[in-house]
Amino acid sequence: MYCRSIGVNIFCSCGRVTRGRYYRVRFEFKVTMFFSHEILQRKSALGQIWIAATMGISRINRRKVQGIDVIQVCSQILEPVTPLALRLSGILMGGLVNVHGRQATFLLGMLCQFNSVMIMIREFHVELEVNLGLFW
C-alpha cells in the first residue's frame, strides 16, 4: 500500500515594474492529497462508488449496483482505514447517493412487476370462479 501526493503549493517570485520593464514571474504547482490506491480498486465497493461518482452510474451494471452494501460503504467513508482527503470523501458520498438512488429505482421496478403479476393472478382467479360457478 502506498500513498499518492496531490495537493496545492504555490510559489511565486514576482518583481515590481520599474521603467517599463517587467521582472520574470515564476509559478510552481505541487499538488498533495493522501489516499491509498487499494481503496479505489475497480473490484472494491469504494471503487464502484468512485466510478459512479466520476463516470456516471450507467457505467456500473445492475448486479454490481445491487451488490453494494450502502451502510457498510458509509461506515468505510466516515471511518476509513487510511486517511482520506475531504474532497475524495465528498466525491465518494455523492457517488453513494447515486448508487442508493439506483438501488431504490431497481426496487421500485421489481415491486411494480410483482404488483402487476398479483393483479393478473387475482383477475385469473375471479374469472376462474365465474366460469366454474364457484361461489361460496
C-beta of residue 34 within 8 angstroms of C-beta of residue 5:
yes
- The answer to whether residue 20 is domain-embedded is no
Range of the domain at 118: 45-133
Average pLDDT, stretch 51-72?
92
Q: Is residue 1 part of a domain?
A: no
- Judged against a pLDDT cut of 90, whether residue 18 lies above it is answered with no
* Rg of the chain taking only CA atoms, in angstroms: 28
* Rounded average pLDDT over 60-78: 93
**Residue 6 pLDDT > 60, yes or no?**
no
User: Is 33 domain-assigned?
Assistant: no
pLDDT given at position 8: 38
- How many C-alpha atoms does 125 have within 13 Å on its Cβ side? 6
Number of domains the chain is built from = 1
Output the pLDDT for position 17: 45
135, pLDDT greater than 80: no
- pTM, whole model, 2 decimals? 0.65
